[in-house]
Structure 1
Amino acid sequence: MAESGQSHPDPQLRLRACTRRHGPTMIIEVDGEIDHATADLLREHVITAALAISPPHVVLDFDQVTFCDSSGLGALIAIWKAVRAHHGDLVVARPPGVCRRILERTGLDRHITIHPTLEGALRHA
Structure 2
Amino acid sequence: MGTPEPRLRVTVSGHWPVVVLACRGEIDHETYDLFADGALRALAGTEPDVVVDLAEVAYCNTSGLKVLRHAADHARAHGRRLSVATGGNAGLARVTGVADGLTLVGDPSEVFDSVHESPPVER
Q: Same fold judged by TM-score > 0.5?
A: yes
- How far 1:45 sits from its partner (Å)? 1.7
Candidates 64, 76, 81, aligned match of 2:68: 76
Letter in 1 for 2:69: I
Counterpart of 1:94?
Answer: 86
- 1:54-83 alpha-carbon deviations (Å, 9 max, x no partner): 5x4201111110101111111111111121
TM-score for the superposition, normalised by structure 2: 0.77
Deviates more, 1:44-53 or 1:57-66: 44-53
Q: Computing the radius of gyration over CA atoms, which structure comes out larger, 1 or 2?
A: 2
Identity over the aligned pairs, expressed in percent?
A: 30
Q: Report the alpha carbon displacement of residue 23 of structure 1 after superposing the two structures with TM.
A: 2.5
Q: Residue 85 of structure 2 aligns to which amino acid in structure 1?
A: A
Counterpart of 2:57, as a letter, is V
CA contact (8 A) 2:39 2:67 kept: no
Unmatched runs of 5 consecutive residues or more in structure 2: 116-123
| Rounded Cα–Cα distance in structure 2 between residues aligned with 1:61 and 1:107 | 16
The count of residues paired between Structure 1 and Structure 2 equals: 110
Structure 2 residue matching 1:17: 3-state secondary structure:
strand
Structure 1 contact 91–114 (Cα < 8 Å) conserved:
yes
Query: How does 1:16-27 map onto structure 2 within 5 Å?
Result: 16-27=9-20
Q: What is the RMSD of the two structures over their aligned residues, measured on CA atoms?
A: 2.0
Relative to its length, the structure with more helix (as a share) is 1
**Counterpart of 2:76 in structure 1: which amino acid?**
R
* Equivalent position SS for 2:29: coil
Q: TM-score, normalised by structure 1?
A: 0.76
Once residues 79 and 33 of structure 2 are traced to their aligned partners in structure 1, the CA distance between those partners, rounded to angstroms, is 22
Using CA pairs below 8 Å that are at least 6 residues apart, which structure has the higher relative contact order? Answer: 2
Stretches of 4+ aligned residues off by more than 3 angstroms:
none
2:103 aligns to what? Answer: 113
Q: Secondary structure at the match of 1:43?
A: helix
